[in-house]
Amino acid sequence: MEVSTPIAISLQDCHGIDPALKHRAEARFAREIGKFFPDEQDMLEALSAYTDAAEGGEISAQQEVLARAWLKAFDKARQAGFQGIGVEEAYFDVRLG
């Protein structure tokens, strides 16, 4: 089952991992992040607010709430994505799709 999101998710630095396992990890990540942001526009706004904050930009109080929501969602999605796989240096790269 493909999970459609407005973002591109890629598991990085997972050398030697079975491609099917990598794909399932990325799908779990996408499903979990989608639970936090069922509306695509909300997801994009939260990612944008987080990116602005992470790059040291000035953000409003409302954007700070969105950035914190993204951080919480990302952490839960990361945990779900890594379930059942043992890769120490791997990380999920998330970009606008």
67 and 49 Cβ atoms separated by less than 8 Å = yes
Mean pLDDT of 13-29: 94
Q: Is residue 89's pLDDT more than 50?
A: yes
Q: At what angle do helices 19-36 and 61-82 cross, to 10 degrees?
A: 150
The whole-number pLDDT of residue 3 equals 52
Q: Is residue 10's pLDDT more than 90?
A: yes
Q: What pTM was estimated for this model as a whole?
A: 0.87
77 and 92 Cβ atoms separated by less than 8 Å = yes
In the chain, domain spans:
7-96
How far is it, in rounded angstroms, from Cα 29 to Cα 81? 5
What's the token pair of residue 63?
A: 């954007």
Each residue's pLDDT tens digit, 29-86: 999 999 999 899 999 999 999 999 999 988 999 999 999 999 999 999 999 999 988 8
Reported as a pLDDT band with limits 50, 70 and 90, residue 4 is low
- Which is it for the CA torsion 39, 48, 35, 91, positive or negative? positive
How far is it, in rounded angstroms, from Cα 40 to Cα 48? 12
How far is it, in rounded angstroms, from Cα 95 to Cα 97? 6
Reported as a pLDDT band with limits 50, 70 and 90, residue 6 is confident
Helix (H, G, I), strand (E, B) or coil at 11: strand
